[in-house]
Amino acid sequence: MGRQKRRKHLRIDESFWAWLDSPSTPMHVAAVAVFESEDDSATAVVARIMTAFRERTDTHHRFRTVIKMRRFPRLSRRELVDQLDLDKHLHHHVTSGSDFEHALAHLISQLQSRRMDARLPMWELHVIEVTGTNRFALYVKAHHSLINGVDAVRMLGRSLQIAPDEHTVTPLWTIDGPRPRLTTVASGSPRASFCSKARPIAAATKAVARLYNPFRNRSPLTGPFAASLSRLNADTGASRRIRTVSLDMNTLKQLAQASGTSLNDVALATCSTALRRYLLDVGDLPAKPLIAGCPVSISAPGGSSANSSIGIMFADLATDRADTVERLTTIACSTQAAKDHQAALPHGALLPYSILAMGSHTLRQVAPHATEFMAPAFNLIISNVPGPSRPLFLAGAKLIELYPLSLLFKGEAINITALSYDNRMNFGLTTCASSGLDVDLIARYLEQAVGELETRYAAKLPNLTKPA
pLDDT 10s digits, 259-268 = 999 999 999 9
Give the mean model confidence (pLDDT) for residues 439-455: 95
- Judge contact between 113 and 238, C-beta under 8 A: yes
- Shared-domain flag, residues 152 and 214: no
Residues 307 and 444 in one domain: yes
Query: 180: cis peptide before it, omega within 30°?
Result: no
Select from 140, 173, 206 the last residue of a domain. 173
Those residues with Cβ within 8 angstroms of residue 6's Cβ, 6 or more apart along the chain or in another chain = 182, 184
pLDDT (0 to 100) of residue 223? 81
pLDDT computed for residue 54 by the predictor: 94
- Taking Cα atoms as reference points, which of 91, 379, 87, 420 lies closest to residue 224? 379
Q: Given 138, 157, 173, which residue is the final one in a domain?
A: 173
At 327, is the pLDDT very low, low, confident or very high (cuts 50, 70, 90)? very high
Question: To the nearest whole percent, how much of the chain has pLDDT over 90?
Answer: 59
219 or 107, higher pLDDT:
107
C-alpha to C-alpha distance for 119 and 67, rounded to whole angstroms: 8
List 28's β-bridge partners, or say none.
143
Here the CATH number for the domain that contains residue 78 is 3.30.559.10
At residue 23, does pLDDT exceed 80? yes
What is the 3-state composition of the chain as percent helix, strand, coil, each rounded to the nearest 5? 40, 25, 35
Looking at residue 39, what is its pLDDT? 82
pLDDT for 189 equals: 47
pLDDT category of residue 214 using cuts at 50, 70 and 90: low
For residue 412, is it left (φ>0), alpha (ψ between -120 and 50) or beta?
beta
For residue 106, what pLDDT is reported?
A: 92
Candidate from 145-154, 196-205, 315-324 with smallest mean pLDDT: 196-205
188 is a domain residue = no
Residues 122, 143: contact at Cβ < 8 Å? yes
Average pLDDT in the chain: 87
Structural domain span for residue 76: 7-173
Q: Is the pLDDT of residue 75 over 80?
A: yes
Q: How far apart are CA 171 and CA 55, in angstroms?
A: 10
pLDDT at 188: 47
Do 102 and 245 lie in one domain? The reply is no
Number of domains in the chain: 2
C-alpha R_g of the chain: 22
pLDDT at residue 347, rounded to an integer: 87
- The top-scoring range by mean pLDDT among 153-157, 220-224, 236-240, 427-431 is 427-431
For residue 247, give the H/E element and its range: strand 240-248
The answer to whether residue 398 sits within a structural domain is no
Is residue 48 helix, strand or coil?
Answer: helix
Say what the pLDDT of residue 121 is: 96
Q: Kindly state the average pLDDT of the residues 352-361.
A: 89
Same domain for 439 and 320?
yes
- C-beta separation of 49 from 394 below 8 A: yes
**Range 244-254 average pLDDT:** 95
Looking at the structure, tell me whether residues 350 and 452 fall in a common domain. yes
Average pLDDT over residues 7-12: 80
CATH of the domain at 204: 3.30.559.30
pLDDT the model gives residue 246: 96
Our CA dihedral for 377, 402, 443, 92, rounded to 10 degrees, sits at -100
pTM for this model (two decimals): 0.90
468 lies in some domain: no
Position 201, amino acid: I
Distance separating alpha carbons of residues 423 and 126, to the nearest angstrom: 26
Mark whether 204 and 168 lie in a shared domain.
no
Q: What does the pLDDT read at residue 1?
A: 34
Lowest average pLDDT, out of 179-193, 277-291, 447-461, goes to 179-193
* Pair (248, 370) in one structural domain: yes
Strand bridging mode 393-394 / 123-130? unpaired
Residue 371's pLDDT is 86
pLDDT at 166 over 50: yes
Pick from 73-87, 143-157, 203-217: least confident: 203-217
Q: Are residues 158 and 226 in the same domain?
A: no
- Distance of alpha carbon 337 from alpha carbon 462, whole angstroms: 31
Lowest mean pLDDT among 96-105, 160-169, 254-263: 96-105
202 and 334 housed in the same domain = yes
Same domain, 93 and 209: no
For residues 433-441, average pLDDT: 94
Same domain, 141 and 83: yes
Q: Rounded to whole angstroms, how far apart are CA atoms 396 and 94?
A: 20
b/e per residue 300-313 (b: at least 16 CB within 10 A): eeeeeeebbbbbbb
pLDDT at 127 over 60: yes
pLDDT at 287: 93
pLDDT of 195 > 90? The answer is no
- Position 286 in a domain: yes
What are the strands, taking DSSP E only, across 300-351?
308-316
The pLDDT confidence band at residue 184, using thresholds 50, 70 and 90, is: very low
Domain boundary, last residue among 121, 156, 173? 173
Task: Decide which of 101 and 379 is more confident.
Answer: 379
Residue 417: inside a domain, yes or no? Answer: no
Residue 429 contacts residue 443 (beta carbons within 8 Å): yes
C-alpha to C-alpha distance for 59 and 236, rounded to whole angstroms: 35
Residue 6: its pLDDT value, please? 44
How far apart (Å, rounded) are the C-alpha atoms in residues 107 and 112? 9
- The answer to whether position 327 is within a domain reads yes
Cβ atoms of 275 and 319 within 8 Å: the answer is: yes
Q: Is residue 179 part of a domain?
A: no
Q: Are residues 261 and 126 in the same domain?
A: no
Q: Is 328 inside any structural domain?
A: yes
